[in-house]
Structures are given as C-alpha cells and as structure tokens.
Amino acid sequence: MKTWILPPGAPVPAVDRRQEGALTLEFPVVTPELASSVSLALVSARTALCAVKADRILRAIEDTIKEWSSPDCPARREAEGAFRAMTGLPGVSAPFGVPLEAYAHGAVREWARAGVDPFEALDGFTAVSGGPAVRLVGPLSAVFILPGNIPLIWMSSLFACLLGRTPCLLKPGEEDPVTPGAFVSSLVRHAPELGPALAVLPWKGGDEEVEREVMRAGGVVVAWGGGEAVSSLARRIPAGMELVAHGPAMAVGVVAKEAMNPGRLAGTASEAGRDALLFDGRGCLSLSTVFVERGGLYEVREAASEIAKAFARVAGELPPGRPTIEGASLVQSWRGRARARELAGKDALLFGSVGTLDWTVICDGELPMPPVPLWRTLWIHPVDSIDEIPGKISTLRNTGPEGDWVIHAMAFAGPESRRQKLAEELSILGLSRVCAFGKLQSPPVSWTSSGISPLRRLLRWTIIEK
C-alpha cells in the first residue's frame, strides 16, 4: 500500500517497503530536496486553486464523504485494513463510520454556510448589507501533522483550508499511514483540479531539515499530538508561521444523583462503555473518568458494580488492540495501587478482566483521578455534590507528564438545569462540548477540540473600505 501523494512536477522518490503482518506498506524516502520540491509545487498551485469555485469544492467533499460512508468503499477498506494492522484493533472497535457519520447528508455544506457569511465571499469580494466588500481567504499554505490514534478527525480543518484556497501538505500519523493518502486520492478523483494543491508526505517526526523545507513557504501548521510533541514543534516553526495545536485533551462524564437509579443507570453505564472503549479509549473524546454524585437510590459502591458489569459486556463487544508497553505498565500500576487500597479497607474498589488488561474499572473516593487517561480504563470518582467537580478538574491542569490537559468534553446524565449550571462553571476551564452518554465519540461537524471552528480559525477576512 502506498502512503504518499505528490503534486505534479515533484520528483519520483525512492521507495522503502515495510512489512506489518500480511500488509506491505510503501514509504517514500523523504529528503530535504524532495520536501522543498513538494512545498514549492504546492505554493505555486495556489493561483489555480483560487479559480476553483467554493461550490465545486463542496460538491467534491460531499461526494467523497458519500463514497467513504459506505463500508464497501475500496479506498476506505484499504485505509481500515492498514489502521487495524498498525494498531491491532479489530474493525468493530475502530469503525471508520463513526468519524464520518457527522459529515453525511449535507452536514458539511450546512456547516460551511453557517460559518461563512456571506458564503459568496469565499469566491470573491462581496458587499455585506450595504457595507464594505469582504473576501475570505486561507493562509498561503498549510502543513498538517496528523494524529495516528483516531482516523479522519482532521477532516474539518482540511475542508476549511480548501475552501480558503490553501494548498495543503499532510503528514500521516505513524499508526495511520494510509488513510490520509487514500482520502485525498478520493477527493482528487471527484475534483481533479484540486490535485496540484494537495500532497501527502510521511517523514520521520522531528527531522528538522525536512521540516525546515516544508515550512519554508510560511502559512500555518495544524498539528495534533501530546504536549511535549506540540511544544517541540512550536519551537521549530519559523517566525511568521502560525501554529494551530490540538494538544492533550480528555473527556469526562457526570452522573447526577437523580440518574442514580435502576431505571437509568444501566443504560448510562452501557453508553459510558461505548464512549470509553471505542478506538481503545485513545482519543481526546474517549471517556476516562466519571464523577458519580452520592445521594441517589444507588449507593456509589452499588453503582460502581453496575457500571463495571456493563463495562465488561461492552469490552467483549469492542475487543482491544495492542497497548503500548508504557500504557500497559501504567494500568498495571494503578490496578495494583487500587487493589492495595481496597485490601487495606480504604474507599476503593477494583474491577477488571482476569489475566488481561482488556478492561479496568477503578472507583476511589479519596484519590484524585489519574493525571493522564489510562488504557481501556474507567475511573469512577464519587462526589458529595456535582458542585465539587470544577474544583477537582482545575487541580488536574499542569499535573500531567506532558503539561496542561484540558477537559474539553463532558457527558452528563441528570436534570437539564443542573447540566446547564455545571457547563457554565466548566466553560472557563476549557469545556467546549456537553452531550449525553453514548454520544461523546460522535461529535457534530460544527464542533472542534479547540472550541473554535476551523472556518474561523484558519480563514482571514480582507475588507475594502468605502
């Protein structure tokens, strides 16, 4: 399987073949000279890209989404196969349909028209209600440093750049080497005129000579990664080039006392399992901690047991991939700590798969939640009142090994009035999305992890004053 796409005029690279189980992956040998050639070719394509109408770009995006929404799409099947080979995740636990579903049925066009007013400003200067003429354009170029943990979460940023007529260079994540090239190939097939302005080039992360060349043209770098990786990248980008970083972020859940009853908890627990275990809990929307409020019909220990039963069932439906050595060690460490506290009579409970790390549920009323999400683990933290939660979350900031983790999404079960009040308090701590349990991993296209639409973050207004 090929992992790169080069614009017309770029030299043909040497090829390095790597074996991943039964899968043979082909990678280009990326030199500074190749990177420079690709970058220059993309920038030179901007003028022609500006001549492509926004509606034409949207139709190509919609056609590509429709094509990829089918499980039988050959490009999608190729990408899924490579992702499974690299992560060990079975298809049921890493369904590509989940990140795609929000973009289907005209959602991309609605998102674009809602985010750009007047929409015609994407194609040229347009007067606004008798006011000045305005034009919306993107940066000169965009370099995407893509994640490998969750596929396709970068789509809205790519679409925003294309609507702003910004040529884009995508660097695939190590564990998702095929998806970017396969998706871009589909997009170009539906609109060949986009081909000169799109490239996919996998290079070794941290290769400063190559990165110097791909960033030489200026513009913007859109990057996903841990705090250390993002900070390192920020130090290397040249002056005048903007960094749009999607750094460490996590999701939590809250079960108010009103939802702590036999009629509601079972469903909430199953939905929490899905939120936590899809994609092995590796994403920024993966549920890692649930705050459970005391005072309901269930005692916290009873609720923890019910949640653990549901978690075990869902873990069987969504089997695991391969944990990293560090991830497995961390889970084992916290399991051991929880077991010791349980045996010592502390306010702690441990549930988990026997002989494996397929799933873990830890309930502790004294220890704060771990500073980083644990692999396929749900941490249950009892509270006397959900009013305590903002204070507990604020103490997590700057405590992780990679710096500042933002709690940016919350699933909630309980009365709407209490959800609203808690969301108000958490918004100042970085919360940008509130939803029901079971919906965390299926955000709408209008939401981004930063809380700012890429249409607003990546595009710029030009105004002709009267």
- The pLDDT tens digits of the residues spanning 72-124 come to 999 999 999 999 999 999 999 999 999 999 999 999 999 999 999 899 999 99
Assign 398 a pLDDT band (cuts: 50, 70, 90).
very low
189 vs 368, more confident: 189
Query: Do 331 and 280 touch, CB atoms closer than 8 A?
Result: no
* Superfamily per CATH, domain 249-435: Aldehyde Dehydrogenase; Chain A, domain 2 (3.40.309.10)
Q: What pTM, to 2 d.p., does this model score?
A: 0.93
Look-up of token digits 């994640």: 147
Query: Do 376 and 87 touch, CB atoms closer than 8 A?
Result: no
pLDDT score recorded for residue 305:
96
Assign 365 a pLDDT band (cuts: 50, 70, 90).
confident
* Chain segment 310-338, per-residue pLDDT in tens: 999 999 999 999 999 999 999 999 999 99
pLDDT score recorded for residue 456:
87
The CA distance from 231 to 405, in Å, is 13
**Half-sphere exposure of residue 227: CA atoms within 13 angstroms, side-chain side:** 14
* Chain segment 49-70, per-residue pLDDT in tens: 999 999 999 999 999 999 999 9
DSSP 374: P
The CA distance from 76 to 101, in Å, is 14
* Chain segment 189-202, per-residue pLDDT in tens: 999 999 999 999 99
Q: Tell whether the model's pLDDT for residue 448 goes beyond 80.
A: no
- No. of H helices and E strands in the chain? 16, 17
Assign 45 a pLDDT band (cuts: 50, 70, 90).
very high
Percent of the chain with pLDDT over 70: 97
Per-domain residue ranges for the chain? 15-247+450-464, 249-435
* Chain segment 242-293, per-residue pLDDT in tens: 999 888 888 999 999 999 998 899 999 999 999 999 999 988 899 999 999 9
Average pLDDT over every residue of 386-410: 73
CATH of domain 15-247+450-464: 3.40.605.10
* Chain segment 143-201, per-residue pLDDT in tens: 999 999 999 999 999 999 999 999 999 999 999 999 999 999 999 999 999 999 999 99
15-247+450-464 with 249-435: one CATH topology? no
Long-range interactions of 259-264: CB distance < 8 A, separation 24+: 259/296, 259/413, 259/414, 260/292, 260/293, 260/295, 260/296, 260/297, 260/298, 260/303, 261/296, 261/297, 261/298, 262/297, 262/298, 264/413
pLDDT score recorded for residue 181:
97
